[in-house]
Structure 1
Amino acid sequence: MATKVRLSGERATLLATLWGRALDARSSASILRDTMAIQVVEQIDFDFRRTGLRPGEEYTVALRARQIDVWAKEWLATHPEATVLHLGCGLDSRAWRLDPGPGVRWFDVDYPDVIELREKLYPPREHYTAIGSSVTDLAWLEQVPADRPVLVVAEGLVYYLREDEGRALLHTIVERFPLGQFIFETLSRRGMKLQKMNKAMQTAGAKVYWGIDSVAELESIHPRLRCVTVMSALDLDGYAALGFKYRLLVGLGRLIPTLRKMATFYRLSF
């Protein structure tokens, strides 16, 4: 029996990204090859055409996820005994895609109703724990041992947080763990205003709150934080393999400073 889904606001955006990964996986030229996304979509009783994801946007979804996967793999390769905090995990199968070794403890964190949904759709796996909590209710961190280096992955999350809550979240994690790295993407303040053109966000009724314009804003959260990488979303690897129209739009966007800085990917170490 298919699982019914009733989500709204930022929670509902997870359906658009899940659909994007599934569409990409069905393509003969798949970028992410997330075949598990197809399996999950087939278990859900929902018309995914209603997510607001426009044709072609599945490429952006897949490119974003692949870049974060690449950075996560790089970090885990040098930290085989580590803890992963996958914040705002939604219905992402990242733990299965990366399939880290037995020395890695993986924690998926999202709202209780999202985690309840995940548990209906995903099989159990070793060294894996799902925590049902708002990421900003910092009590959930008490469920996570702090004895190992930590990798914090937050795809499609940061801009939905209020600034004070987001800063408190990052600060608390840095204070709690001996060393680690954050991997996430942000929107600039101007980019937040342009989200009125994002149909998937409009359809979900999602609101963004925290815009970030510089590395200094992030490094000011804690003295131990240092930026390792800053990358515009328009510089993600893989655009060259897409169709001419898409390559043209990306090329034009790179020439316009406001668009180039609209969405940015960061790696922060501590």
Structure 2
Amino acid sequence: MLCLLYLRASESRLDQPILGDHFAAKDVARIDYDFARIHRRVRPDTNQFMVALRGAQFDAWITNYLEAHPDATVLHLGCGLNSRPFRLAASEGVRWFDVDLPQIIALRRKLYSESENYRMIGCSVTDAGWLEDVPTGGPVAIAAEGLLMYLTPPEVAELLHRLTERFDGGELFADLVSKWGPPLSKVSASGVIKWGTRDGGEITGWDARLRLIDDRSVLAGFDEIPLSRQRSLYRRLHSIPAIRNYDRVFRYAF
């Protein structure tokens, strides 16, 4: 969580940022942690753009949905320390709920305040109880950034059923890794990726109400990278199918 925050903060300091999360830079300055250690680990010179490109695509899709549905509910599942509700400055008619584990929300509450239209819920997304705090019906935009691949397929299916049954209609935005995700995860430091996808079809198979309407590689926006060396690197990575399709963002409607 802090690694992602630090990468967003680093990217925001560029002259021409893609995401430009200036809230992240302020939060890094307010959190008492050894960020020099994180700097050595995450190598922001190159990795900040992966986070920025993915975050910018989520921002664009959510913004697009809210422009068409100014009275929508937004659910940001596994929100971490993401500043998205403040960065997007949604209209007054939007109700926004950030959901994450209790210890993460406890830290988040030290950085951000709730309001009439913005709430934080400290609970695992796999616990059905948290939805009791969310109004039923109406349109909804659901963001699951860096989340679903860490749940088991039955957990994802159950979560999707609960969401699609509670609202009249909406869209789901999620990034998913390829079939290589779980085997690579087993040899990584975390080893927590539970499943991968070839084309995002598993989601529509687990919940028939959902239909895939758009998808793209996280690397697809490499031309927006303002630094020439990193832009060239990402262009080369994007040209390799196995790498280009490892992490993709998907947009579903129901």
Name the TM tier (shorter chain). over 0.9
Match of 2:232, SS state, is: helix
Which of 167, 189, 194 aligns to 2:179? It is 189
Q: What letter is aligned with 1:45?
A: D
TM-score, normalisation: structure 2: 0.92
Contact 2:222/2:231 (8 A) holds in 1 = no
- Root-mean-square deviation (CA, aligned residues, Å) is 1.8
CA displacement 1:189-225 (0-9 Å, x = unmatched): 2134345787xxx3xx462112122232111122211
CA displacement 1:34-82 (0-9 Å, x = unmatched): 1111111111111123332113211211111111001100000000111
- Separation (CA, whole Å) in 2 of partners of 1:187 and 1:228: 18
Aligned residue pairs total 251
The percent identity for this pair of structures is 41
- Structure 1 segment 57-136 matched on structure 2, within 5 A: 57-136=47-126
Match of 2:206, SS state, is: coil
- Structure 1 segment 155-166 matched on structure 2, within 5 A: 155-166=145-156
- Separation (CA, whole Å) in 2 of partners of 1:95 and 1:197: 35
Which of 233, 248, 253 aligns to 1:264? It is 248
- Separation (CA, whole Å) in 1 of partners of 2:128 and 2:179: 26
Match of 1:189, SS state, is: coil
Structure 1: which 5+ runs fail to align? 1-13
Structure 2: which 5+ runs fail to align? none
Contact 1:109/1:135 (8 A) holds in 2 = yes
Instruction: Provide the residue aligned with 2:42 in structure 1.
Output: 53
Contact 1:88/1:110 (8 A) holds in 2 = yes
- Separation (CA, whole Å) in 1 of partners of 2:225 and 2:103: 38
Match of 2:124, SS state, is: coil
Instruction: Provide the residue aligned with 1:141 in structure 2.
Output: 131
Contact 1:191/1:259 (8 A) holds in 2 = no
Q: What letter is aligned with 1:97?
A: R
TM-score, normalisation: structure 1: 0.87
Larger CA deviation: 64-73 vs 30-39:
30-39
Instruction: Provide the residue aligned with 2:234 in structure 1.
Output: 250
